[in-house]
Structure formats: structure tokens, C-alpha cells
Chain A
Amino acid sequence: MGTRFLVAVGALLLTAAAPAPTVDEIVARNVAARGGKPALSAVRTVRMTGRALGGPGREAIVRREVARPGRIRTEFVFQGTTGVYVWDGTTGSRVSPLDGSLEAEPLPAEAAALSAEQADLDGPLVDWRSKGHSVELVGSAALPGGAAHELKVTLETGVVRRLFVDAATGQVVKTTSTRTVRGHETEFETLYGDYRETGGVSFPRSIEIGARGRPQRMRIVVESVELNPKIDDARFALPR
């Protein structure tokens, strides 16, 4: 039993002794931790670059551009191939050499839904009521980094995400979601860390994705964040 675990349990007990915060308080804390509503609203576009690390021999260069309202473009550069995945707010396309496609084709339904979700620059907690989401406080969880508030977020689409908001920092440190893979219900978890500020807004610089109980992980290390770069609308559509 590690020291970090004991600290986490201790923090959890202290949290349990205090009155549980409301959903609105947790969300307000999270928004403040990210830089505050005015700072977040001032971000019209963002461009990120970094690396995806999927194990030995699998290190890719990744780029991501997000623009209001609800548009996203991701690029994946690996072994001489550049894949492009776009969502223009309504429809999605991809050219994905690693998946055997050199011509633009519609994004698979799951990728399209994921893109639409990630195209929300503010994230699901900001203005969640007006977005049609519902947020419910499930309880507290002892995570390795400390106690966290567990929120059940039901997106307007019906998709359920569980967000773990660090009780001390107010940042989202983990999300989980369940999906069926080859007929078996599998829980996926995403860990967020190394939050750093850019232009008054904080972004996680480390994103680790994996299935619960399985050893293999993919990690994205964000190396640069650029706020409000000029991004041509054409970048969110692919010629067909």
C-alpha cells in the first residue's frame, strides 16, 4: 500500500467529513481552475501539437485544431503517412492511410460522435444545462493523486461519461466511459495531467487512454498550445 494511496484515503476522509459540494459548486470550481468563464469564452480557436505514444515503434506526431462553433480537425503523422480527420459541426470526413483509405470518406459513426464531443471547446461542464446535458454528483473517489468528485455526465446525445474532478485543484483528472467491444462491455478510462496555462487558460498536457484492467496504454503528450490562431474554414472539410 503506497504512501500516495494513504494520502488519497486521508484526503477522501477529510472530504467526507465536510459537507458535499453541489454540482454547481464543483462545476464553478472547475471553470475557475481552467481560467474562468471570460478567459474560456475568449478562446475562439485553439491549435495543439504533440505526440501520441502507443508503445515501442509507435510514436506519432499529432495535431489538433478546434474552432467555434463546434468544429475540429485532427491530424496523425506516422511512418510517412498523414491522416486527417475533420468534423465541420454537422458532418465528418477522414482520410486515414493507416486504415487503408487514401480518399476522403465519411467518419465512422463512433468517430463522428467523438469528434462532435471533442469539438466543444469549453468541455461538457460549461453551460451544461443550456447544452442539454445532465450532471449528477455520484460521490467521492480516492484516486492515486488525491480525492476527486465523481460526476455522472449524460450528454445531450444520451452518451454517459463519468468525470472525476480533483477535489483540491478543481481540474478534471479522469474520465471513464463504457463501450461494447466485440460484444464485451469494456470500461475505458482517460487520465488527464500536467495542466499548464496558456494565455490564462489551462490545458492538460498529458492524456493517457486505456481500458480498465488492461496493461496497454496510449499517451498523448501535448507539446504546444496556440490560442486564437487564424484557421481557415476550409480546414474543417475534406474534398470528396
Chain B
Amino acid sequence: MRALAFGLAIAMLPLAAGADTIFLKSGGELSGRIVSRTAATVEIDVGGGQIGVATSTILRIEEGRSTLHEYQDRAGRIAPGDVEGWVALAAWASSIGLGAQATEAYHRALHAAPNDPRANAGVGNVQVGGRWVTEDEGYRAQGYVRFEGEWISPAEHEAILRERALEVQQERVHQAEAKAHEAQVRAEEAEARLAEAEAQKADAQAASEGLPLWYGWGAGPVSWSNDSIARQPMVQQHPLVTPR
């Protein structure tokens, strides 16, 4: 795996030479490394995935040194066992919105020092019973259940299932003009539980959709995760650089 990662890192080196910002006619911006250009499309790696941009939507492209490029330079100068270096790099990456790189750097720190509290917190780990566990395991340990991408209390979970079962039942009653029975509600509950299993498959996609409300600030994205960027496999799955 390391050899594969090293190969990928080497393969990406020529791409690191181009650091660009694409200014869209719509007013948005994309900053990273352009990895390919055709007459119709420009493909840019923003560090959390690659985005294909139709040239017809591009106002202009400015070549320059992107923060992603700087991250790679800095990462290349940090030794594998330099915990302080990786933690500092992660904090810097996070502060400029490079979430994927921050996570990567924290993982590097964790690799060197598995119990480092900053690195653990940086990747979302929490302490349960004196040991570090993932954020999800932490919520589970607190009694929350995952439902459609959200961690909620068992009581709320049950309430949602009941509501949905009732809605389905009421709809059927309405259509068939028949009376509803408690037994049927229970059957619908079981049905809803089965449906939950399917809903959980969509968890990864829905994981960041729980807070679309930006009350107190203004509008913002509905989805907020690297997954919403990556149309192709995430670059962060492989080291962007090979540390010395």
C-alpha cells in the first residue's frame, strides 16, 4: 500500500507545478491545481477531489501559488515522526479551509503518536473509558443512534419511526377508506425499521445535511463535506507527498 501511495505521489508531482484559481462567471471561485484541459472542460484538483468545469462558465484563470501547493511544500519538509510539525501543519490547513489536508496531517501525527490528544481531537476522536475512539463510536457510547446521517436520541428515533408509520397508515386508510388498527401500526413500524436499513445506506451522503439552517448568519451550502466535492476518488486517500 505504501509503495502504491508513493507511486501515486510521484505521479502527481508534475501536477503540483500548476497552482491556479478559476474565477467563474457566476461569481464563484475554485482554487487548486489544474490537472487537465480540453476545449470544453478544465479539471481542477481542489485537494478534496476533482471538479470538472465547463470552459463556457469560466471568466478567467489566474495561475499562482495555491494554498494546496503550499501545504504540499510544508508537508514535504516534515519528518514522519515529527508530531509537532504535523499538528501545526494540520491546524494551519484547517484554518484556511483545507479540511482534507488537515485531516491527512492529523492522521500523520496520529501515526507517529497514537495518543496525542490534539491529533485525536483533530480527526474527531473522543475519549471513552480512557481510550480514544472515533467520533461515531463516541456518540454511540453516549446512547445516540445514527439515523439518516444524523446522531439522535433513541426517543427521537422511535418518535420518527412512529410518525412515519402513522403517516403511511393514514395514507392507506385514506385511500382505502378503511379503519386503522393498532396492530397495523405495529406492522408499519416494522416496515419503517426495514426502510431505515435502506436509509442508512445513504448515511455517508447525508452526513452533513443535518444543519442546512444558517439562522443567525445567512445562507450557506446545504452539503458540507469533502464527499460533496469529490466526483472522483479522494486525493486524500493517498499521501499527497512522500515525507522524508
Q: How far is the CB of B40 from chain A (nearest CB, A)?
A: 14
Asked if A158 is at the interface (CB within 8 A of a chain B CB), the reply is no
Question: Of B94, B152, B217, which one neighbours A57 at CB under 8 angstroms?
Answer: B94
Task: Check A80 against B151 for contact (C-beta < 8 Å).
Answer: no
Task: Check B216 against A175 for contact (C-beta < 8 Å).
Answer: yes
Task: Check A97 against B224 for contact (C-beta < 8 Å).
Answer: no
Q: How far is the CB of A172 from chain B (nearest CB, A)?
A: 10
Segment 1-52 of B: residues with Cβ below 8 Å from A:
24-32, 44, 46-48, 51
Task: Check A78 against B97 for contact (C-beta < 8 Å).
Answer: yes
Task: Check B218 against A118 for contact (C-beta < 8 Å).
Answer: yes
Asked if A210 is at the interface (CB within 8 A of a chain B CB), the reply is yes
Task: Check A209 against B102 for contact (C-beta < 8 Å).
Answer: no
Task: Check B217 against A220 for contact (C-beta < 8 Å).
Answer: yes
Task: Check A179 against B213 for contact (C-beta < 8 Å).
Answer: yes
Task: Check A57 against B224 for contact (C-beta < 8 Å).
Answer: no
B218 partner residues in chain A, CB cutoff 8 A: 64, 72, 74, 85, 114-115, 118-119
A175 partner residues in chain B, CB cutoff 8 A: 215-216
Task: Check A76 against B213 for contact (C-beta < 8 Å).
Answer: no
Segment 191-240 of A: residues with Cβ below 8 Å from B:
192, 204, 207, 209-211, 213-216, 218, 220, 238-240
| A103-B200 Cα distance, complex, nearest whole Å | 31
Interface string of B141-171 (1 = CB under 8 A from A): 0101000101111001001100110010000
Task: Check B220 against A55 for contact (C-beta < 8 Å).
Answer: no
Task: Check B123 against A57 for contact (C-beta < 8 Å).
Answer: yes
Q: A62-B217, A175-B215, A215-B139 are in contact. Are A102 and B53 (CB under 8 A)?
A: yes
Count of residues in B whose CB is under 8 Å from the partner chain: 69
Task: Check B210 against A211 for contact (C-beta < 8 Å).
Answer: yes
Task: Check B30 against A54 for contact (C-beta < 8 Å).
Answer: no
Task: Check B97 against A216 for contact (C-beta < 8 Å).
Answer: no
Asked if B115 is at the interface (CB within 8 A of a chain A CB), the reply is no
Interface string of A91-102 (1 = CB under 8 A from B): 010111111101
Task: Check A57 against B226 for contact (C-beta < 8 Å).
Answer: yes
Task: Check B217 against A64 for contact (C-beta < 8 Å).
Answer: yes
Task: Check B167 against A183 for contact (C-beta < 8 Å).
Answer: yes
| A6-B144 Cα distance, complex, nearest whole Å | 28
Question: Of B26, B51, B217, B224, which one neighbours A238 at CB under 8 angstroms?
Answer: B26
Task: Check B216 against A209 for contact (C-beta < 8 Å).
Answer: yes
Task: Check B219 against A111 for contact (C-beta < 8 Å).
Answer: yes
B27 partner residues in chain A, CB cutoff 8 A: 84, 95, 104, 238-239
| A169-B2 Cα distance, complex, nearest whole Å | 58
Complex A-B: 21 CB contacts under 8 Å: A54-B211, A56-B135, A57-B124, A58-B225, A76-B220, A81-B229, A85-B219, A85-B220, A98-B223, A99-B228, A118-B218, A183-B160, A183-B163, A183-B164, A184-B159, A188-B213, A209-B215, A214-B152, A215-B139, A215-B142, A238-B27
Please give 8 more A-B residue pairs, beta carbons under 8 A apart, in addition to A60-B97, A80-B44, A218-B211.
A54-B211, A55-B124, A80-B97, A84-B27, A95-B27, A98-B229, A184-B159, A211-B150
**B interface, CB within 8 angstroms of A:** 24-32, 44, 46-48, 51, 53-54, 57, 66-68, 94-100, 102-103, 106, 121-124, 135, 139, 142, 144, 148, 150-153, 156, 159-160, 163-164, 167, 208, 210-226, 228-229
